[in-house]
């Protein structure tokens, strides 16, 4: 594992597997998520964060964008744990209309959220309530292969992440002009 730096743009193997998994929106009954097979470039991330916040001074180094929903909301690793590898950073969602939230405390936990049939946008807009998602056998197998944390229901993972990072929304607000 490598430490996170502003230059670190190597997609973790687990996110590569997520990108290859494919997601079925299933007319609103599935997961609205389009993972990328590479992180957005530093330039694209900087352009996006400046546009999203209205703050032309930002550089986007705090985020590694790895997917989007159908409306253009972005899923990203939030590089807030200094000196820790990318897979130990929290997963966040920043919606096209200003919605935002922490999805999971790590990439490993994010895999379990997906396995429960809940995507980043669904967590932020609807929460990860019991019975909301539809467990996905393929994503469960992927999580079983790559996750380093124990399996827990998505609602527990999301609640743990919200408790650990209660100031995420305030931190994002502070970026906005």
- Cα–Cα distance between 97 and 83 in angstroms, integer? 31
> What pLDDT score does 2 carry?
37
pTM for this prediction? 0.91
Distance, in Å, from the CA atom of 140 to the CA atom of 112, rounded to the nearest integer, reads 7
Give per-residue burial for 100-124: e unless 16+ CB within 10 Å, then b: bbbbbbbbbbbbbbbbbbbbbbbbb
Q: Please state the φ and ψ torsions of residue 130, each to the nearest 5 degrees.
A: -55, 130
Q: How far is CA 140 from the centre of its chain?
A: 17
Asked if 139 and 46 touch (Cβ cutoff 8 Å), the reply is no
Q: Does 5 score more than 60 pLDDT?
A: no
- Report the mean per-residue pLDDT for the chain: 89
Angle at Cα 101 formed by Cα 53 and Cα 155, nearest 5°? 170
What does the pLDDT average to over 86-97?
Answer: 95
Q: Which three-class secondary structure state does DSSP give residue 86?
A: helix
pLDDT of residue 43: 95
Instruction: Report the pLDDT value the prediction gives residue 87, as an integer from 0 to 100.
Output: 96
Residue 4 has pLDDT above 70, yes or no: no
Place 15 in a pLDDT band, splitting at 50, 70 and 90: very high
């Amino acid at each position: 594992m490598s430490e996170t730096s502003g230059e670190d743009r190597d997609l973790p193997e687990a996110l590569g597997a997520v990108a290859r998994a494919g997601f079925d929106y299933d007319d609103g009954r599935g997961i609205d998520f389009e993972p990328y097979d590479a992180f957005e470039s530093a330039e694209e991330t900087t352009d996006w964060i400046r546009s999203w916040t209205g703050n032309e001074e930002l550089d986007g180094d705090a985020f590694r964008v790895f997917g989007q929903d159908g409306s253009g909301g972005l899923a990203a690793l939030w590089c807030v744990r200094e000196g820790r590898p990318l897979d130990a950073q929290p997963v966040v969602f920043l919606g096209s209309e200003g919605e935002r939230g922490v999805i999971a405390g790590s990439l490993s936990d994010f895999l379990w959220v997906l396995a429960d049939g809940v995507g980043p946008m669904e967590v932020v807009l609807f929460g990860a309530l019991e019975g909301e998602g539809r467990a996905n056998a393929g994503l469960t197998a992927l999580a079983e292969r790559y996750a380093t944390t124990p399996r827990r229901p998505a609602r527990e993972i999301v609640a743990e992440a919200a408790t650990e990072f209660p100031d995420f929304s305030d931190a994002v607000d502070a970026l906005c002009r």
